[in-house]
Amino acid sequence: MSLERTLTVRVARIARQTPEILAFELTHPWGRALPGYEAGAHIDVHMPGGFSRQYSLARAPHLSAGDAYVIGVKREPASRGGSASMHERVREGDLIAISTPRNTFPVRAEARRHLLLAGGIGMTPLLAMAQALASQGADFTLCVFARSEEHLAFADALRAPGLAAHVRLHLDQGDASQRIDLRQMLADRAPDTHLYVCGPGGFMHAVREAAAHWPEEALHTEYFAAPDGTAAATTGLPFTLKLARRGIEVPVAADQTAVDALHEVGIDIPVSCQQGLCGTCVVDGQGEDAEHRDFCLTTAERRGRIALCCSRAKNQELVLDL
């Protein structure tokens, strides 16, 4: 159940980027402009087989000009069905449903310098960020970590004039002298530098360890899955949701999520990943009273925002601005 707007788009083009990654270009079926977005945004893609997955938009807004969205999809060996469906069942010319773009991983306006670290397919939101920053003449570096040249997605975009000078490549099977030492790179943080990270679990863990001394407000992450491969727990003690604007209370059972409890009384909260990763279900509320179990909000954001798909009350009541 969701009130989130859904769009129908046409798969205009499918291009192989690596042996495991396909790029999908999505356009309006009648040639109209698609809703705008900011670099770092992602969409939900509803695909054959009833699957729904989140994919970052891999092209800066000014390069898309409202005409198309571009996503990269890696065929996962242990796919739960989503990436397999995109690779095996979606063809050029097909119509598929997507959500409108939303952004829980934006470029921070307060930063004076931006360091973007991308592991594998995690480069998709960071590529869009880099393109946007390049167009603004900003101070940034995009570091891309890949297995080899053959496994480097969107290579042409990385070599584009205006962007290539800002790109550093770390290839596991490449020249050892060009590999990036994360601890050395992140040892000293220049003033007003912000770090953005996206990639597989092991890569994310390595970066977070190397940047453990960085202030939290300067470190921004987007996960493919819950850290350490564990999903956010959704059950616990029963509690009550107090909806401040409606003046009503909604009980949440021990084996229920806050989202499910609200749906039962006819209040629709948009949901997507249901793992505390994507931020779709985040609402305003008294975050100090919440037991936060998400992976998308910073400590500062948690003071006044709550991811309802997984978070619960610390005690018996949780006040929401609903």
257 and 179 within one domain = no
Asked if the structure places residue 234 within a domain, the reply is: no
C-beta of residue 57 within 8 angstroms of C-beta of residue 37: yes
168, 190, 222 — which closes off a domain? 222
Asked if the structure places residue 160 within a domain, the reply is: yes
DSSP for 127-155, written as a single string: HHHHHHHHHTT-EEEEEEEES-GGG-TTH
DSSP for 254-306, written as a single string: TT--HHHHHHHTT-----SSSSSSS-TTEEEB-GGGEE---SS--HHHHTTEE
222, 254, 273 — which closes off a domain? 222
Asked if the structure places residue 125 within a domain, the reply is: yes
Residue 26 C-beta-side C-alpha neighbours within 13 Å = 30
> What phi, psi does 261 have (nearest 5°)?
-65, -40
137 and 69 within one domain = no
Asked if the structure places residue 174 within a domain, the reply is: yes
* Domain enclosing residue 31, as ranges: 6-99
- Percent of the chain predicted with pLDDT > 90: 74
Q: What is the mean pLDDT of residues 166-194?
A: 93
208 and 279 within one domain = no
Q: What domain count does the chain have?
A: 3
Largest CA distance in the chain: 63
Q: What is the CATH number of the domain that holds 201?
A: 3.40.50.80
89 and 10 within one domain = yes
309 and 282 within one domain = yes
- Residues 189-201 have pLDDT tens digits of 999 999 999 999 8
C-beta of residue 282 within 8 angstroms of C-beta of residue 302: no
185 and 143 within one domain = yes
247 and 217 within one domain = no
Give the integer Cα–Cα distance in Å for 42 and 121.
13
Q: What is the mean pLDDT of residues 282-291?
A: 92
Q: What is the mean pLDDT of residues 264-276?
A: 84
Asked if the structure places residue 233 within a domain, the reply is: no
CA-wise closest residue to 159 among 172, 149, 148: 149
pLDDT at 140 over 60: yes
Prediction pTM value: 0.84
95 and 24 within one domain = yes
C-beta of residue 132 within 8 angstroms of C-beta of residue 103: no
94 and 133 within one domain = no
> What phi, psi does 139 have (nearest 5°)?
-90, 110
Choose between 238 and 298: higher pLDDT: 238
Q: What is the CATH number of the domain that holds 60?
A: 2.40.30.10
217 and 117 within one domain = yes
Q: What per-residue confidence (pLDDT) applies to 1?
A: 36
pLDDT at 229 over 80: no
142 and 83 within one domain = no
Asked if the structure places residue 244 within a domain, the reply is: yes
278 and 187 within one domain = no
- Residues 46-105 have pLDDT tens digits of 999 888 889 999 999 999 878 999 999 999 876 667 889 999 999 999 999 999 999 989
Q: What per-residue confidence (pLDDT) applies to 228?
A: 60
Q: What is the CATH number of the domain that holds 262?
A: 3.10.20.30
Neighbouring-strand partners of residue 117:
143, 197
Asked if the structure places residue 266 within a domain, the reply is: yes
163, 196, 222 — which closes off a domain? 222
pLDDT at 15 over 90: yes
Q: What is the mean pLDDT of residues 269-290?
A: 85
pLDDT at 297 over 50: yes
